[in-house]
């Protein structure tokens, strides 16, 4: 059986698809990111993280100025702009061809970043600000459509329940994810964003229990069937930690296992803290699927003629 394939994501002259999956590096301009290995409140630290990400194979860099969860400091729009815009200006100057993404749910922050040549607005809170998708269209950016179970920004899930009239509790979360992402993608296209710039992200952990996230992950193919490029943001998340009973520092192997499954099932963009490891995993899966040729194919080939080597 052929594994699923989704349409290409096309941004800034780059084409990402099953043969060329994209790694989206995370740079958090915060002091309180859930993983201490990605806290770059200092701009110089953020610049070094950018350089490392590019050197290790990142195709996209996603910058955020606010911690996703409800713990941590309050950050208003003015402060968020102060954190992300100088970084984006530096990144665009240093790497003109790099795809740049902004993780925000606020339209005014996306608008402030529009002049730097922003390529993606990563709306991890599922259209909480109804003007955000229009701003993305206005500035010529793509958009990430997400699923949060209806929760507002910076809300941790409590007493989560998914049910529908089909009476199948296990798959109810998958149906809700698919419905929400389809609606978000249709809204983005209606706002004028080309389909090749619209990503759908099932947004594991957000509005979901660990069991919900595991079910959704193994149904990635259902999300691929929507006909848009699929983003999976899996890196060191709580569903990995709870599944293996591990803190954030020890979740790399679990993250990479989840990454390989998602890649096999059709996801082509991977938001990651560990860029080099993720790059190697998604390229290997693409080659196993038959979508990417090996970088070398020398094993078993005839030995070179000795006279030619003389």
Q: What is the pLDDT of residues 128-156, one digit of tens each?
A: 999 999 999 999 999 999 999 988 998 88
Mean per-residue pLDDT over the chain, rounded: 94
Q: Tell which residue, 152, 174, 175, has the closest CA to residue 218.
A: 174
pLDDT-based confidence at residue 309 (cuts at 50, 70, 90): low
Q: Which residues pair with 230 in a beta bridge?
A: 200
Number of structural domains (the chain) is 1
CATH of the domain at 65: 3.20.20.20
> For residues 230 and 201, what is the distance between their CA atoms, to the nearest angstrom?
6
Express each pLDDT in 145-198 by its tens digit: 999 998 899 888 888 889 876 666 789 999 999 999 999 999 999 999 999 999
Domain containing residue 213: 16-309
Q: Tell which residue, 154, 146, 136, has the closest CA to residue 100.
A: 136
Would 294 be classed as within a structural domain?
yes
Would 5 be classed as within a structural domain?
no
- What per-residue confidence (pLDDT) applies to 72? 76
Cα torsion through 39, 98, 240, 218, rounded to 10: 160
For helices 169-190 and 210-218, give the axis angle rounded to 10 degrees: 70
Q: What is the chain's length? A: 310
> For residues 279 and 287, what is the distance between their CA atoms, to the nearest angstrom?
12
Provide φ and ψ at 72, rounded to 5°: 100, -175
| Average confidence (pLDDT) over 264-288 | 98
Would 68 be classed as within a structural domain?
yes
What's 98's DSSP letter? S
Express each pLDDT in 94-128 by its tens digit: 999 999 999 999 999 999 999 999 999 999 999 99
Lowest-confidence segment of 37-51, 243-257, 261-275 by average pLDDT: 37-51
Alpha carbon separation from 53 to 56, 276, 277, 278 (Å, rounded)? 5, 8, 11, 11
Residues 286, 294 contacting (CB under 8 angstroms): no
- What per-residue confidence (pLDDT) applies to 156? 87
Q: Tell which residue, 237, 305, 240, has the closest CA to residue 271.
A: 237
| Average confidence (pLDDT) over 47-56 | 97
Alpha carbon separation from 249 to 25, 153, 278, 297 (Å, rounded)? 17, 25, 16, 36
* 258: helix, strand or coil: helix
Q: Tell which residue, 11, 24, 33, has the closest CA to residue 53.
A: 24
CA 156 from chain centre, in angstroms, equals 19
Would 253 be classed as within a structural domain?
yes
pLDDT-based confidence at residue 33 (cuts at 50, 70, 90): confident
What's the predicted TM-score (pTM) here? 0.93
- What per-residue confidence (pLDDT) applies to 1? 74
Half-sphere exposure of 116 (CA within 13 A, CB side): 27
């Amino acid at each position: 059986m052929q594994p699923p394939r989704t349409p290409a994501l096309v941004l800034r002259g780059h084409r990402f698809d099953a043969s060329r999956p994209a790694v989206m590096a995370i740079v958090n301009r915060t002091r309180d990111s859930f993983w201490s290995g990605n806290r770059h409140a200092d701009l110089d630290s953020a610049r070094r993280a950018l350089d490392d990400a590019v050197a290790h194979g990142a195709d996209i860099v996603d910058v955020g100025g606010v911690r996703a969860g409800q713990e941590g400091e309050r950050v208003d729009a003015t402060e968020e702009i102060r954190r992300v815009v100088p970084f984006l200006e530096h990144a665009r100057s240093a790497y003109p061809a790099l795809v740049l993404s902004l993780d925000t749910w606020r339209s005014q922050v996306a608008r402030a970043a529009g002049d730097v040549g922003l390529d993606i607005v990563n709306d991890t809170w599922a259209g909480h600000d109804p003007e955000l998708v229009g701003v993305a269209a206005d500035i010529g950016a793509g958009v990430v459509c997400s699923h949060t179970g209806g929760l507002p920004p910076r809300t941790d899930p409590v007493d989560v329940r998914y049910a529908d009239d089909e009476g199948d509790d296990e798959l109810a979360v998958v149906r809700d994810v698919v419905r929400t992402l389809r609606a978000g993608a249709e809204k983005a296209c209606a706002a004028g964003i080309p389909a090749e710039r619209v990503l759908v992200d099932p947004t594991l952990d957000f509005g979901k229990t660990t069991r919900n996230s595991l079910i959704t992950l193994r149904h990635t193919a259902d999300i691929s069937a929507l006909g848009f490029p699929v983003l999976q943001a899996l890196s060191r998340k709580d569903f990995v930690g709870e599944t293996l009973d591990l803190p954030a520092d020890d979740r790399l192997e679990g993250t990479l296992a989840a990454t390989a499954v998602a890649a096999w099932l059709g996801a082509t963009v991977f938001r990651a803290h560990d860029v080099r490891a993720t790059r190697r995993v998604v390229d290997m899966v693409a080659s196993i699927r038959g979508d990417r040729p090996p970088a070398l194919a020398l094993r078993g080939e005839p030995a070179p003629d000795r006279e030619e080597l003389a």
